Amino acid sequence: MAGSGVDVSPAPRDPVLEAEGAFLEHVGECLAHMRGTAEALVDVGGDAYASERLGALRAERLRSLAELPDVPAFFGRIDQPERALHIGRRHVIDEAGDPQVIDWRAPVSRTYYQASAQDPQGLLLRRRFGFSRGELTSYEDEDLTRTAPSPIEQDDDGDGTPALGSLVVAEIERPRSGPMRDIVATIQPDQDDIVRAPLEESVCIQGAPGTGKTAVGLHRAAFLLYSHAERLRRGGVLVVGPNRAFLSYIDQVLPALGEVDVTQCTVADLGPDVTVRATDTPAAEAVKTDPRMAEVLARALMSGVREPNDADDVVLDLAGRRYRVRAHRVAATVRTLAEKVVAPAAQREIYYAAARTRLARAIAEDARRQGEAAGFTPTDGETARAARSKDVRAVLDVVWPARRAVDVLADLYSDPTSLARAAEGLLDTDEQAALTWTARPRSLARAPWTAADVVLLDEIEGLLERPEAYEHIVVDEAQDLTAMQCRAIGRRLATGSLTVLGDLAQATHPCSLGQWSTVMTHLGRPEATVRPLTMGYRVPGEVIDFAAQLLPSIAPGLPAPRAARRAPGALRLRPAGDLLAAVVELADREGSTAVICADDAVASTTATLAAAGVGSTLLGSDEGAVAKAGDVVVVPAGLAKGLEHDHVVVLDPADILAAEPRGLQRLYVVLTRAVTSLTVVGAEGLPAPLSPGAPAS
């Protein structure tokens, strides 16, 4: 397209392609050399630990690149007046140490993502490369010297959406198979702003479905790990997702970006390892997820602490002599320590378990001072032994007993008097009744713990001992977090920062908080700015416009999402019973197909497909989202969040709607999973905002 500013040139003999292909080969050789150097570095071994570790890290990264043969060494190029730079997933240098490919996260790479004809940022040209199975097959140039917007930047249909380059669209529409992939070659300017926000800034992203929140969160983690390598590798980065299926869907993205040192887990994984054997009633869940529980639990834990009576002096042996530590002095120490243990998390200097040890030391030190006043000199070792003596332990068991989280919570649930004391002024009698167990189980290993209990146990453990902390935490699908889950994440943050991603319109948890300011407050970062992402990349305009008719009912304040592309015919509505016809229609279309149905319709749906000879893979909560090639994936509506498929069949929306209190939100989630086409089977069961005037199949 010479003269228009855009060149899409798949021709095999194109001189530009040939030159770039030769450069790609050269870069491959440089990489091989770098790999050899990194290996040699490890082998030499005589270096300081730091350089050995560096070599090991580098080798690890190169290995991960080598294991991904379809990942090209660069994906773009920027031409400045005096030089051209290729941009890739990581730096590549030649034998002389000169840069050949610049890491996408380096400051100089930023213009690749941000420059436009209106604001070229010193660039003459941006080139994007197209690859097929690792082979360089095309390129697309944007001439940034022209003052008029290039076709790539023009709003070609006048609906406010800038047209994307054809390579960007091709990347977005590339059929999905297997896990989520990175978007490093095509990050858009609004996404890039968030990816590169300073480490110190905790950000909260409110984004419509498919705006790239998950992608942005993961790329931000990779960016921060690059920009603050030492600090973040020491402090750690954690990614929290809603469930295992989601984690397995995203778990290839960071390794593909060369980052293998990131912990990924669900909120449930943060808590202690107890078996969930029961489900809460809605009333119990409402209380257990409420932030007032934090105070109730702190009181429950501290109810075991008591100051000794005046008559209860402590008598102990130290270095062969007997000493008496006055009860009122022990009481004063108990009081001081108790105040410190229940201080707000950010100011907490000491935890319950360590405070018990500190109290023992204080008692022994008191005896030591008495000894010194009398002319004796007990050693440190003798004093420490006295602190661990039977006499002191016996006192501690009365005034500061050792406790386990499970005991504290089980005591609370099975003793209405203790519960009433801990909940006084916080929970009313109905709320207390909702928490109560009818009997204390003989073994706590078999206690009827619920998912909400695990978060409460974690809250207690957070008082008992300092939890492992991270320097940065990325929280995805955060709209569903309860207050107590937010606290569980927040206390693992220490001085670090957060990237919080979500969409209030997709909040399906009945106890979710409904407002980002509340979420951020319970996460411990109330000052975080909320940034919107509104350009939807996943879902075609026809489908997102259809689903967005639900927004006034489910999230009235939110703006309607905009679609980056339209696809006529992407939406089809079919009557009930048309599942097989819908699936057969999609059989020869490229890409993945999913049937999303109500959770309790999974078995019947799988059976219907099997009876018709259609192979299917069931997406379970503990499995990956990867289907066998050619299989239809059957997805319970409850697990659909965050995932996507090329073709989606939503089966019997009325059942999905009726299955839970926030059925409308769930419906919005399932209707926004499609990249290429959405078919609704049982469309007559769609709720009012969606049925009238909806296009029929």
Ligand X SMILES: Nc1ncnc2c1ncn2[C@@H]1O[C@H](COP(=O)(O)OP(=O)(O)OP(=O)(O)O)[C@@H](O)[C@H]1O
The answer to the question of residue 638 lying near ligand X (CB under 6 A) is: no
Strand 535-536 to 562-563 pairing: parallel
The answer to the question of residue 480 lying near ligand X (CB under 6 A) is: no
Report in angstroms how near the CB of residue 220 gets to ligand X at its nearest: 12
Stretch of 209-217, 373-381, 416-424, 452-460 contacting ligand X, by CB under 6 A:
209-217
Report in angstroms how near the CB of residue 411 gets to ligand X at its nearest: 40
Stretch of 208-216, 359-367, 444-452, 554-562 contacting ligand X, by CB under 6 A:
208-216
C-alpha to C-alpha distances, 177 to 233, 500, 590, 643, 658, nearest whole angstrom: 32, 27, 10, 12, 31
Q: Which is nearer to ligand X, 172 or 433 (CB)?
A: 172
Among 186, 243, 333, 479, binds ligand X (CB under 6 A): 186
The answer to the question of residue 471 lying near ligand X (CB under 6 A) is: no
Q: Is 517 helix (H, G, I), strand (E, B) or coil?
A: helix
The answer to the question of residue 503 lying near ligand X (CB under 6 A) is: yes
Q: Exposed e or buried b for every residue in 54-87, given b needs 16+ CB within 10 A?
A: bbebbbebbebbeeeeebbbbbbbbbeeeeebbb
DSSP 8-state code for residue 577: T
Report in angstroms how near the CB of residue 334 gets to ligand X at its nearest: 49
Report in angstroms how near the CB of residue 172 gets to ligand X at its nearest: 4
Report in angstroms how near the CB of residue 213 gets to ligand X at its nearest: 3
Q: Which is nearer to ligand X, 178 or 661 (CB)?
A: 178
CA dist 546 and 336 (Å) reads: 60
Among 72, 210, 242, 371, binds ligand X (CB under 6 A): 210
Q: Which is nearer to ligand X, 100 or 506 (CB)?
A: 506
Q: Which is nearer to ligand X, 435 or 649 (CB)?
A: 649
- Find the helix packing angle between 451-464 and 352-373, rounded to 10°: 20
Say if residues 287 and 431 touch (Cβ distance below 8 Å): yes
Report in angstroms how near the CB of residue 211 gets to ligand X at its nearest: 4
Token pair for 495 = 């001085």
As annotated, the binding site for ATP includes 207-214
Among 188, 289, 479, 606, binds ligand X (CB under 6 A): 188
Which runs of consecutive H residues, i.e. helices, occur in 84-183? 110-114, 166-173
The answer to the question of residue 172 lying near ligand X (CB under 6 A) is: yes
The answer to the question of residue 666 lying near ligand X (CB under 6 A) is: no
Contact set for ligand X, span 307-366 (CB under 6 A): none
CA dist 616 and 638 (Å) reads: 18
Contact set for ligand X, span 535-554 (CB under 6 A): 537-538
The answer to the question of residue 191 lying near ligand X (CB under 6 A) is: yes
The answer to the question of residue 635 lying near ligand X (CB under 6 A) is: no
Tell me, residue by residue from 270 to 309, as one string, x for binding to ligand X by CB under 6 A and - for no binding: ----------------------------------------
Q: Is 162 helix (H, G, I), strand (E, B) or coil?
A: coil
Q: Which residue is nearest to ligand X (CB)?
A: 212
Among 128, 213, 244, 492, binds ligand X (CB under 6 A): 213
Say if residues 246 and 240 touch (Cβ distance below 8 Å): no
Among 59, 73, 136, 183, binds ligand X (CB under 6 A): 183
Query: Phi and psi dihedrals of 417, rounded to 5?
Result: -70, -45
Stretch of 86-94, 185-193, 420-428, 622-630 contacting ligand X, by CB under 6 A:
185-193
Among 209, 271, 371, 540, binds ligand X (CB under 6 A): 209
CA dist 328 and 310 (Å) reads: 6
Contact set for ligand X, span 579-598 (CB under 6 A): none
Stretch of 128-136, 182-190, 256-264, 515-523 contacting ligand X, by CB under 6 A:
182-190
SS3 letters for 619-635? CCCCCCCCCCCCCEEEE
Q: Exposed e or buried b for every residue in 174-198, given b needs 16+ CB within 10 A?
A: eebeeebbbbbbbbbebbbbbbbbe
Say if residues 456 and 293 touch (Cβ distance below 8 Å): yes
Q: Which is nearer to ligand X, 58 or 673 (CB)?
A: 673
The answer to the question of residue 662 lying near ligand X (CB under 6 A) is: no
The answer to the question of residue 215 lying near ligand X (CB under 6 A) is: yes
Token pair for 407 = 């005991």
As annotated, the binding site includes 207-214
Q: Is 295 helix (H, G, I), strand (E, B) or coil?
A: helix
Site size for ligand X (CB under 6 A): 21
Q: Is 394 exposed, middle or buried (0-12, 13-18, 19+ CB in 10 A)?
A: exposed
Report in angstroms how near the CB of residue 205 gets to ligand X at its nearest: 8
The answer to the question of residue 171 lying near ligand X (CB under 6 A) is: yes
- The helix or strand, by DSSP H or E, that contains position 674, with its residue range, turns out to be strand 674-681
Residue labelled with tokens 């995203």: 250
The contact set with ligand X (CB under 6 A) reads 171-172, 183, 186-188, 191, 207, 209-215, 503, 537-538, 642, 644, 672
